[in-house]
């Protein structure tokens, strides 16, 4: 018989303020006990809902009030190694609002603000995502670029520590670059992986778009900007390897669509693709996907690709969270990509459509696409 959960031990006894304080004191929230996870909120409310982004579960789950108290709780079964971002929706006096969990200091930020984060049993922040004092940081600088295709573009350029003009470097182009830097800690990740010899010293162009939903949805102008304008400019200014194997383009969500569609428009140019939680919406009949008109051009592109898949790169790393609805589309893409002869690796994680999921997959993806000198260096 399994041990009783902490919340049940509390409820089953006589409840008073002292016992509640003792329950709340010195404990990590949510309470993770094996695969049982208890979400807890303390405060005055008419009702409290857990709001999360786990596809497959009800997106709103009511917390129960411990009778006669302001303590609310909900226990869910969450598989090991999961990351779940969530908020509480508090209803009080005819009003409602979403708040982060005040009992849980663990937050994930994104362009819309921040969410509380549940880390289930077994999940740990990868060490390579944290600042390492012995790692030499690369340099990062903002850039502007006057594009014939798209007008003025902005982004950031990363040069590895110990950059030398006498050497040659591979190039990585990142869609939604500023978000990858801000929310996926990508500079720290690059610094650490390079320091650990797991990826090579590389030059990284973090590109931004002022209208990503338009420009990342299979827009010819964007593909031209990146491939015919940005890369030649960088190649003229920096010692880049001039080989497809040394050119990688990546992105998440719509940025992943853009990475694939750019490679599709320039087959053979981008030898490495890293696509995370790609918004690869498609239809088996008709042209309108359930996701709405924003996806129409994506659907058109993905339907075209699905009808006549072709090898556009050499290696493709695909990752997706199993708690996001796009898992269906991504799982569907993998056999198609593989059938073209491209070398495809697909990785799923118990996570959602968020930046820390994309961060956590960077090591495996980048080191597989562009292995560092780890196999060559024996100190």
Partner 1 sequence: MTKSLRPAVVLLGAQRFDPSLGAAVSELGVTGRIAIITAGWQEREAEDEELSAHLGDRTVNLQLHARGDALFREDPALRDAHRERQASLRHRQDFYRIRLEHELEADRVICTRTAPAEILAEQVQASLDGIRELDQWHLRLCARIRTEFEARWDLANRPSVVRHRQEIAEILSGCDAVAIAGGHVATLVNRLVLFGIADLVQHHTVFAWSAGAMAISDRIVLFHDSPPQGPGASEILDAGLGLIPGVVVLPEPERRLHLDRKDRVQRLVRRFEPATCLALPARSRITWRDGVFSSAHDVLQLRPSGRALAFGVRPRRVSAS
| Residues in contact with partner 1 by the rule CB under 8 A | 162, 164, 166, 193, 196, 198, 243, 245, 345, 363-364, 367-368, 371, 373-379
- The distance of closest approach from Cβ of residue 369 to partner 1 in the complex, given in angstroms and rounded to an integer, is 8
Closest to 39 measured CA to CA, from 70, 64, 18: 64
- The distance of closest approach from Cβ of residue 82 to partner 1 in the complex, given in angstroms and rounded to an integer, is 22
In degrees to the nearest 10, what's the CA dihedral of 129, 203, 222, 282? -40
What does R_g of the chain's alpha carbons equal in angstroms?
23
- The distance of closest approach from Cβ of residue 73 to partner 1 in the complex, given in angstroms and rounded to an integer, is 39
Question: Can you tell me the distance from the alpha carbon of 301 to that of 306, in angstroms, rounded to the nearest whole number?
Answer: 9
Contact 87, 98 (CB under 8 A): yes
- The distance of closest approach from Cβ of residue 275 to partner 1 in the complex, given in angstroms and rounded to an integer, is 17
Name the β-bridge partners of 87. 51
- The distance of closest approach from Cβ of residue 243 to partner 1 in the complex, given in angstroms and rounded to an integer, is 8
Instruction: Measure the CA angle with vertex 168, ends 162 and 171; round to 5°.
Output: 90
- The distance of closest approach from Cβ of residue 200 to partner 1 in the complex, given in angstroms and rounded to an integer, is 12
Give alpha helix (H) positions in 229-326: 231-237, 254-265, 296-307
Q: Which is nearer to partner 1, 42 or 366 (CB)?
A: 366
Helix (H) or strand (E) holding 185, with range, is: none
Question: Can you tell me the distance from the alpha carbon of 83 to that of 120, in angstroms, rounded to the nearest whole number?
Answer: 6
Q: Which is nearer to partner 1, 193 or 263 (CB)?
A: 193
Q: Which is nearer to partner 1, 57 or 161 (CB)?
A: 161
Contact 258, 251 (CB under 8 A): yes
Q: Which is nearer to partner 1, 263 or 369 (CB)?
A: 369
Q: Which is nearer to partner 1, 255 or 372 (CB)?
A: 372
Q: Which is nearer to partner 1, 78 or 349 (CB)?
A: 349
The encoded tokens of residue 112 equal 């819309």
Q: Is the peptide bond before 30 cis (omega within 30 degrees of 0)?
A: yes
What is each CA distance from 141 to 202, 300, 360, in whole angstroms? 15, 36, 24
- The distance of closest approach from Cβ of residue 374 to partner 1 in the complex, given in angstroms and rounded to an integer, is 6
Q: Which is nearer to partner 1, 59 or 243 (CB)?
A: 243
Buried b (16+ CB within 10 A) or exposed e, 342-375: bebebeebbbbbbbbbbbbbbbbbbbbbbebeee
Buried b (16+ CB within 10 A) or exposed e, 82-106: bbbbbbbbbeeeeeeeeebbebbeb
Label residue 136 exposed, middle or buried (CB < 10 Å: 0-12, 13-18, 19+).
Answer: exposed
Q: Which is nearer to partner 1, 125 or 300 (CB)?
A: 125
- The distance of closest approach from Cβ of residue 315 to partner 1 in the complex, given in angstroms and rounded to an integer, is 11
Closest to 282 measured CA to CA, from 257, 263, 264, 259: 257
- The distance of closest approach from Cβ of residue 305 to partner 1 in the complex, given in angstroms and rounded to an integer, is 25
Q: Which is nearer to partner 1, 27 or 167 (CB)?
A: 167
């Amino acid at each position: 018989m399994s041990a009783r959960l902490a919340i049940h031990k509390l409820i089953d006894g006589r409840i008073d303020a002292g016992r509640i304080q003792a329950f709340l004191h010195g404990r990590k929230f949510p309470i993770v006990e094996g695969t049982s996870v208890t979400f807890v909120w303390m405060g005055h409310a008419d009702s409290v809902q857990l709001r999360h982004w786990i596809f497959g579960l009800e997106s709103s789950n009511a917390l129960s009030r411990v009778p006669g108290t302001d303590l609310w709780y909900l226990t869910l079964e969450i598989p090991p190694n999961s990351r779940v971002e969530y908020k509480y929706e508090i209803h009080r006096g005819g009003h409602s609002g979403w708040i982060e969990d005040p009992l849980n200091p663990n937050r994930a930020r994104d362009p819309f603000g921040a969410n509380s984060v549940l880390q289930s049993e077994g999940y740990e922040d990868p060490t390579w995502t944290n600042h390492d004092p012995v790692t030499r940081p690369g340099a990062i600088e903002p850039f502007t670029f006057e594009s014939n295709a798209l007008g003025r573009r902005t982004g950031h350029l990363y040069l590895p520590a110990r950059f030398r003009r006498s050497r040659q470097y591979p190039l990585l182009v990142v869609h939604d670059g500023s978000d990858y830097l801000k929310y996926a800690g990508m500079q720290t990740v690059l610094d650490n992986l390079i320091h650990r010899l797991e990826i090579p010293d590389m030059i990284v162009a973090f590109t931004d778009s002022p209208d990503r939903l338009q420009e990342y949805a299979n827009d010819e102008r964007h593909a031209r900007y990146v491939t015919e304008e940005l890369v030649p400019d960088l190649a003229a200014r920096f010692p880049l390897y001039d080989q497809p194997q040394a050119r990688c383009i990546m992105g998440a969500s719509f940025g992943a669509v853009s990475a694939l569609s750019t490679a599709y428009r320039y087959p053979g140019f981008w030898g490495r693709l890293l696509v995370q939680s790609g918004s690869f919406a498609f239809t088996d009949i008709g042209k309108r996907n359930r996701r709405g008109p924003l996806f129409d051009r994506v659907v058109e592109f993905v339907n075209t690709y699905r009808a006549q898949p072709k090898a556009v790169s050499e290696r493709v790393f695909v990752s997706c969270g199993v708690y996001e609805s796009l898992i269906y589309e991504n799982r569907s893409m993998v056999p198609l990509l593989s059938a073209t002869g491209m070398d495809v690796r697909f990785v799923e994680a118990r996570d959602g459509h968020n930046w820390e999921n994309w961060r956590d997959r960077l090591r495996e993806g980048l080191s597989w696409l562009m292995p560092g000198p780890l196999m060559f260096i024996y100190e």
